[in-house]
């Protein structure tokens, strides 16, 4: 089978597609034949060893000192169960699934082994593989942050970076929960975020929400240029700051600020419960997958370039299907 290898940290061009043996599922494991995956902002961070500030050493410890310990990255896959190991229940060969190995990665490959600790959830018949794969990165992240931040009906929520993979899901999930949503993105994406349900839109190229008089119950920063210190004065008393991205100092100092919410348990986000919930909502038309562009697998370097640009709209998808 073919897989995309990252054998040194660097620009998109370090990604190389090579032949590698197709894995065999062991006990409790399933082998998924990939139809679609994403290159998400986390994958691009790992590939480039691009830290949000002050965390390079920590990243090297976690991911590999001089090169990625797991050279085949990729967080999620949508595909077909090709083989099943002993002891697997609830899935059979041929089932269409959305699956992840969390930070063990491995999804930028034609076949992906999902281990017994991973997540695999059946995709409803009315969703395509591309629909399914566009949901979990932003969707599961938003769910876990909203739960930790106690988002509830009637809350005023501002999302900074509202048209990215996290933002487009955050808008839709927050609206379903009954929040009043203000979306911050460039004017080019204003119509999209309104269509997804945003009540108010602020174009960051012409307006700075931190200089306005409106106050929010929650502020979610997915871009990294609106840290707590910069936005705390536009939070209502008792308001919460959802730090999706932050540098080392913001992470450390956030730890002793009651208002700062930064859940780091990947098992809470990437769970069967969250994946099934997102698929169910999409299947009923209650949330909409947003796809920036679909790249054929041989063009995965282009997909990394698009993500590095910092202005993708929703998810960058990589397809393993011909046409």
Ligand X SMILES: NC(=O)c1ccc[n+]([C@@H]2O[C@H](COP(=O)([O-])OP(=O)(O)OC[C@H]3O[C@@H](n4cnc5c(N)ncnc54)[C@H](OP(=O)(O)O)[C@@H]3O)[C@@H](O)[C@H]2O)c1
In the complex, the residues that contact ligand X under the rule CB under 6 A are: 40-42, 45, 138, 141, 160-167, 184-186, 188-189, 204, 222-225, 244-245, 310-312
Closer CB to ligand X, residue 10 or residue 310? 310
> Could you tell me the smallest distance in angstroms from the CB atom of residue 217 to ligand X?
20
Taking the complex as a whole, how short is the minimal distance between the CB of residue 26 and ligand X, in angstroms?
29
Instruction: Decide whether 24 or 188 has the Cβ nearer to ligand X.
Output: 188
Nearer of residues 112 and 220 to ligand X, judged by Cβ: 220
Pairing of strands 76-84, 96-100: antiparallel
CB 52 → ligand X: shortest distance, Å?
7
CB 312 to ligand X: min, Å: 5
Measured from the CB atom, is 113 or 261 closer to ligand X? 261
The nearer residue to ligand X, 134 or 165, going by C-beta atoms, is 165
The least distance separating ligand X from the CB of residue 13, rounded to whole angstroms, comes to: 20
Q: Under DSSP, is residue 14 helix (H, G, I), strand (E, B) or coil?
A: helix
Instruction: Tell me the C-alpha distance between 13 and 267, whole Å.
Output: 31
Nearest Cα residue to 50 out of 224, 170, 184: 224
Rounded-to-integer distance, Cα 222 and Cα 215, Å: 18
Q: Which long-range contacts (CB under 8 A, 24 or more apart) does 41-45 make?
A: 41/164, 41/165, 41/307, 42/75, 42/137, 43/73, 43/74, 43/75, 43/105, 43/108, 43/304, 43/307, 44/304, 44/307, 44/308
């Amino acid at each position: 089978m073919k897989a995309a290898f990252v054998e040194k940290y660097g620009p998109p061009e370090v990604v190389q597609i090579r032949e590698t043996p197709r894995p065999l599922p062991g006990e409790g494991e399933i082998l998924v034949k990939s139809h679609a995956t994403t290159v998400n902002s986390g994958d691009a961070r790992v590939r480039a060893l691009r830290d949000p500030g002050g965390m390079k050493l920590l990243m090297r410890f976690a991911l590999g000192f001089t090169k990625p310990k797991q050279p085949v990255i990729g967080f999620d896959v949508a595909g077909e169960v090709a083989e099943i190991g002993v002891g697997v229940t609830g899935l059979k060969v041929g089932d269409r699934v959305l699956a992840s190995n969390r930070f063990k990665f491995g999804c930028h490959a034609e076949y992906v082994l999902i281990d017994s600790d991973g997540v695999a959830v059946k995709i409803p018949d009315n969703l395509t593989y591309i629909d399914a794969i566009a949901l979990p990165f932003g969707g599961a992240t938003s769910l876990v942050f909203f739960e930790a931040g106690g988002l509830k009906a009637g809350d005023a929520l501002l999302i900074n970076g509202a048209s990215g993979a996290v933002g487009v899901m955050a808008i839709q999930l927050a609206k379903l929960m009954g929040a009043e949503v203000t979306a911050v993105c460039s004017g080019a994406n204003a119509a999209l975020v309104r269509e997804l349900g945003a009540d108010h839109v602020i174009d960051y190229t012409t307006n700075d929400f931190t200089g306005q008089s409106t106050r929010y119950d929650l502020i979610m920063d997915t871009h990294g240029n609106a840290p707590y210190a910069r936005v705390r004065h536009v939070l209502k008393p008792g308001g919460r700051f959802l730090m999706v991205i932050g540098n080392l100092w913001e992470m450390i100092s956030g730890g002793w600020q009651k208002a700062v919410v930064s859940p780091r348990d990947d098992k809470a986000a990437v769970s069967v419960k969250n994946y099934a919930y997102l698929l169910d909502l999409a299947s009923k038309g209650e949330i909409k997958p947003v796809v920036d562009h679909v790249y054929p697998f041989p063009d995965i370097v282009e997909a990394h370039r698009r993500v590095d640009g910092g202005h993708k709209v929703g998810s960058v998808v990589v397809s393993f299907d011909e046409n």
